[in-house]
Structure 1
Amino acid sequence: MSEQVGDFIIRRLGEWGVKRIYGYPGDGSNGIMGALNRADDRIEFIQTRHEEMAAFMACAHAKFTGEVGVCTATSGPGAIHLLNGLYDAKKDHQPVVAIVGQQARAAMGGEYQQEVDLVSLFKDVAHEFVHMATSPAQVRHLIDRAIRIALSERTVTAVIVPNDLQSQPAVETPPHAHGTIHSGVGYVPPRVVPHEEELRRAAAVLNEGERVAILVGAGALGAADEVIQVAERLGAGVAKALLGRAALPDDLPFVTGSIGLLGTNASWELMANCDTLLMIGSGFPYSEFLPEEGQARGVQIDIDPRMLSIRYPMEVNLVGDSAGTLQALLPLLEEKRDRSWREHIETSVAQWWDVLEERAMAEADPVNPQRVFWELSPRLPDNCILTSDSGSAANWYARDLKIRRGMMASLSGGLATMGNGVPYAIAAKFAYPDRVAIALVGDGAMQMNGCAELITVAKYWQRWADPRLVVMVLNNQDLNQVTWEMRVMEGDPKYEASQDLPDFPYAEYAELIGLKGIRVTEPNALAGAWDRALSANRPVVLEVVTDPDVPPIPPHIKREQAQAYMSALLHGDPDALGIVKASFKQFARQFVPKVRRH
């Protein structure tokens, strides 16, 4: 049988180093599915429960490996379903390629079933490159360009392939003639380092600062040693944006932890009192948690010049790779002799960990959600991979876990979508089948799509060298993060019609489909439950019944937030009594230093 276009696509992806494609089949992509079948598993096809999950998994593959992630879907509804996961990749600057089916070319423009203008549909999410193939001779350069652009621009690209074209004879080498394109395979990212003059300007700013704060994001994930050296030389503290959660280990005394609404008091103090800010590989969006404009001089390092000076007006903007730029900057930096700023930071960090422990161990009805994470923290296996979903789980993921060197961790950052936690963990297991993956999710996200993707886990887990994948579900029967946002941001009481969730037996469901289920309803059982989950011989759903009234206290409470909170209580919040009790316990520790702006 001669090679068809579908076969060529799969072979070309393999030549680019693609090992795995996440997706869901349909008649718009039958030719591609047939080609995967004929490829004898040279590229593994992972069947998800939903196309959105395929895109999430492709995004997570890119995040955890640095490789291009690939997902596929059929025409019409299948292609539409990809979009949310693709936007997750776009917003977090991850290289993902979508291979999408389409109706036959002859039917286009005829209101045919499942005919959707996919080029227009994908034009925003894949704005750097989206094209529909109309001729076999196009396919080579469309695949080559889609992958090369995705990798070089760290973005989403899409190739649309009509179903009749997929079964046409392939054209590997277009004719040597006018109007043809002859592309090739291969891309190695360049080493980008700023000019010496700009490095010296940046060093001058940092050397003159007396109270230096560093903020790292996902762009610093490969630069831990360099960030540590810079922080030590400058006597600086280091805060972490959520996507940079694993950039530095939390056992370093000058690492203040997460920043922002989900962040720590130590990070708030660091930014409130610094006179110099060094931002490395971060697009952290919330300017109110950065120094006040004019308070600090700024230096920013980012590989993407479009991300420079859009969160804080920087004095020096350095376009470059984080590790390479810091290596070039280090010889120009002077050792800070006065260590009082560093000592203040380390005291603040130590106090904050004490506060977190007290808050985690406070009584709740029935289980304090913070304690779920606090008990996990010392039990985290070496080199494990953590994923968090959006929602209140992200608060405790951001604060209560001490991530160690060698671990990886991620969530949906720029899009902050629900439903990514479980598919991220599944992708992590396929990329690293010998490492433990732990998904930390709320019951809202679990009901949205996590329960369905447990079926994917049940289908594939026996392929993994280490079968341990733990999905921890906070069962509080409440869309908790939004409930608190209603109270604190809007001053409205909880709206039960939108916020209450039906109860669901997550642990029992896991047992029903061949996984292990553990249910916890009292706090003293947490430690043993984590031990059992992390030593099981198969994937585990750890369901913990938690108290929705435990407040996710921000690191700094504004007067407007306090007034809105009281307004919600006074206007008939159905959980007002529980909230008052839980809040009192959380605020019991009052020694946290107040912010002093210099």
Structure 2
Amino acid sequence: MDTVSDFILKRLSEWGIKRIFAYPGDGINGLIGAFGRSKEPLEFVQVRHEEMAAFMACAHAKFTGQVGVCMATSGPGAIHLLNGLYDAKMDHQPVVAIVGQQARAAIGGDYQQEVDLASLFKDVAADFVHVASSPVQVRHLIDRAMRIAMERRTVTCVILPNDVQDLPAVEAPPHEHGTVHSGIGYTAHSHVPAEHGLRNAAEILNSGERVALLVGAGALGAEEEIQQAAELLGAGVAKALLGKAAIADALPYVTGSIGLLGTQPSWELMSGCDRLLMVGTSFPYAEFLPVEGQARAVQIDRDGRMLSLRYPIEVGLVGDSKATLKALLPLLTRKSDRAWQEKIAKSVARWWDTLEARAMVQGEPINPQRVFWELSQRLPDRSIIACDSGSSANWYARDLKMREGMLASVSGGLASMGCAVPYALAGKLAFPDRPVFALVGDGAMQMNGINELITIASRWKDWPSPTLVIMVLNNGDLNEVTWEQRVLGGDPRFDASQLLPAFPYAEYAKLLGLDGIKITDPDHVGPAWDAAINADRPTLLEMVTDKDVPPLPPHIALKQAKAYFQAISKEKASGGAVLRATIKQWWAS
């Protein structure tokens, strides 16, 4: 006789789920047992820590567009999921968490590992979190968790007491009062706003002389429509960090990333535009958008709650980005005056020259920008790129040129450290034939990336392509926070909090049976990338980089400049090196 656990795995498989990211524990023993006897094409992906399971579920959703599913035991296992689940929630990714709980008879008895999970998950899974108290409930709990995660693009959670997991399954609830009869059926959506809204939006955009587009993760998959809109309107296109793969950087009017990690052309685009079209983005930093009242604005988003949140808009269009843009395009008038777009293109061309010049400045021993610049020229077609939070995100945002067909992501809204290696592994499991890259700082690598190398080492021989490259920026410093201490607080680096213990990253990778290459010479950076991309196994590149190279923002406020110089003047041991590195970068610019 099938148990509730058997039914759950079968139901998830019927929903199209192919793998579940998890770590075992006695709170989910019923589910683990069901995996052992299941005939469903459902893979159990054992991670090293439950947080990694949630990160991988989030990345699976980001890279595939499908629901990601993670699983954890009761108590500490469930608690560990939270950080990765918040990553999914804040980046609007559909993830279902299935967590164990103590037996129903023990709940309320101060039992070992008893945690009020419904309350614990009520924020991260605000749209749906419920406890299964009867086998009759289970079908609709799984169905609603899946459907709500998809429809609201959010996190949902089903809590399973361990005794319920082993009860006899109920395939269909009885046909009587007080029961719920859910299903899996296909859902057809209306993706396009009403015509009058489209016409109002077109009127605003057509009347402008200097149009800017800002695209985010919600614009992924709409590259052709974004390109057509930009060319009709004579516009420039800036990208929020999560939208880095939304449009190729080879197009002359694509200004690249926006914000503190952004580019000078994006700053100029926003500073000079008189019309703004925002597509699928909730980019949060108002100081990098036009001054309020400067530009008339239109916004496209599938979630009406996100409209007119970051900048006051005149017309909000609730709908799928691709379908809405496709309906809007015939209403746009091609601008005959191309002066604005030509100005943007000249700024973009100068910027790429500037980035190359900055990257080639000598570092001690390696300029981190050169690491990313050399990779950019070598990225294979259809690459999947995962970047961690920290200073690595600066160079990822600016120096990597995305091409059509690539996928890329970061922890956006949460900006959590430790995401890149689990993201990359999830990408490789979903697309084992594609080249995958994890770009990681040494702080994030020490936080949890080192452990997940064990998972990679245990799985890579099953992949049709072994190309998975983990690049670690080894500068011995929690660099992003160090710069924030200087620029935002006016404080010198606090060595006790910022300096990291040494670790032999490349040698550790070799110990696991992976390849490991340590680079200390800038002339060896490019050949090292070549070797890693063409290696017969996953490879860790340990790039020993200069912690003093500043991530110069596109615009520096006087207050920030004053704080920065105040901070480094107090750094007796390192202030001089930091100042020299800053002058070199400024001169190269």
Both structures adopt the same fold (TM-score exceeding 0.5): yes
Partner-residue secondary structure (3-state), 1:518: strand
Give unmatched runs, 5+ long, in structure 1.
591-598
CA-CA distance at 1:145 after TM superposition = 0.3
> What amino acid is the match of 2:421?
V
CA contact (8 A) 1:476 1:546 kept: yes
Partner of 2:462: 463
CA-CA distance at 1:573 after TM superposition = 5.4
Partner of 2:512: 513
Tell me the distance in 1 between the aligned counterparts of 2:195 and 2:220.
24
Q: Deviations over 1:350-391 (max 9, x none)?
A: 000000000000011000000000000110010010000000
Partner of 2:58: 59
Query: Does residue 372 of structure 1 match 2:371?
Result: yes
Tell me the distance in 1 between the aligned counterparts of 2:186 and 2:347.
45
CA contact (8 A) 2:519 2:542 kept: yes
Tell me the distance in 1 between the aligned counterparts of 2:362 and 2:173.
70
CA contact (8 A) 2:387 2:438 kept: yes
Deviates more, 1:190-199 or 1:536-545: 190-199
Partner of 2:290: 291
CA contact (8 A) 2:192 2:324 kept: yes
Partner of 1:32: 31
Q: Deviations over 1:198-249 (max 9, x none)?
A: 1111101000000000000001101000000000000000000000000000
Identity %: 67
Tell me the distance in 2 between the aligned counterparts of 1:191 and 1:535.
45
Partner of 1:316: 315
CA-CA distance at 1:69 after TM superposition = 0.2
Tell me the distance in 1 between the aligned counterparts of 2:572 and 2:53.
39
CA contact (8 A) 1:246 1:408 kept: yes
Tell me the distance in 2 between the aligned counterparts of 1:191 and 1:550.
49
Tell me the distance in 1 between the aligned counterparts of 2:172 and 2:256.
53
Q: Deviations over 1:429-453 (max 9, x none)?
A: 0000000100000000000000000
Partner of 2:99: 100
Partner of 2:481: 482
Partner-residue secondary structure (3-state), 2:299: strand
CA-CA distance at 1:571 after TM superposition = 2.1
> What amino acid is the match of 1:351?
R
Matches within 5 A, 1:520-535: 520-535=519-534
Partner of 1:270: 269
Partner-residue secondary structure (3-state), 1:176: coil
Partner of 1:137: 136
Tell me the distance in 2 between the aligned counterparts of 1:589 and 1:455.
41
Partner of 1:596: none
Q: Deviations over 1:8-65 (max 9, x none)?
A: 0000000000000000000000000011111146200000000000000000000000
CA contact (8 A) 2:13 2:40 kept: no
CA contact (8 A) 2:59 2:427 kept: yes
Tell me the distance in 1 between the aligned counterparts of 2:158 and 2:75.
14
Tell me the distance in 1 between the aligned counterparts of 2:187 and 2:405.
24
CA-CA distance at 1:191 after TM superposition = 3.5
CA-CA distance at 1:459 after TM superposition = 0.9
CA contact (8 A) 2:222 2:246 kept: yes
Tell me the distance in 2 between the aligned counterparts of 1:356 and 1:472.
20
Matches within 5 A, 1:315-334: 315-334=314-333
CA change 1:526–1:41 in 2 (3 A) is farther
Tell me the distance in 1 between the aligned counterparts of 2:245 and 2:574.
36
CA contact (8 A) 1:152 1:189 kept: no
Tell me the distance in 1 between the aligned counterparts of 2:408 and 2:38.
33
CA contact (8 A) 2:9 2:40 kept: no
CA-CA distance at 1:559 after TM superposition = 0.3
CA-CA distance at 1:462 after TM superposition = 1.0
Tell me the distance in 2 between the aligned counterparts of 1:479 and 1:574.
17
Partner-residue secondary structure (3-state), 1:588: helix
Partner-residue secondary structure (3-state), 1:503: coil
CA-CA distance at 1:262 after TM superposition = 0.1
Tell me the distance in 1 between the aligned counterparts of 2:227 and 2:147.
32
Partner-residue secondary structure (3-state), 2:16: coil
CA contact (8 A) 1:14 1:42 kept: yes
Partner of 1:74: 73
CA contact (8 A) 2:219 2:246 kept: yes
> What amino acid is the match of 1:378?
Q
Partner-residue secondary structure (3-state), 2:377: helix
Partner of 1:595: none
Tell me the distance in 1 between the aligned counterparts of 2:112 and 2:414.
31
Segments of 4+ moved more than 6 angstroms: none
Q: Deviations over 1:272-300 (max 9, x none)?
A: 00011000000000010000001111000
Q: Deviations over 1:481-540 (max 9, x none)?
A: 000000001100000000000110000000000000000001000011000000001000
Partner of 1:20: 19
How many equivalent pairs are there?
Answer: 589
> What amino acid is the match of 1:469?
L
Tell me the distance in 1 between the aligned counterparts of 2:187 and 2:395.
38
Give unmatched runs, 5+ long, in structure 2.
none
> What amino acid is the match of 2:527?
G
Partner-residue secondary structure (3-state), 1:238: strand
Tell me the distance in 1 between the aligned counterparts of 2:560 and 2:350.
24
> What amino acid is the match of 2:466?
P
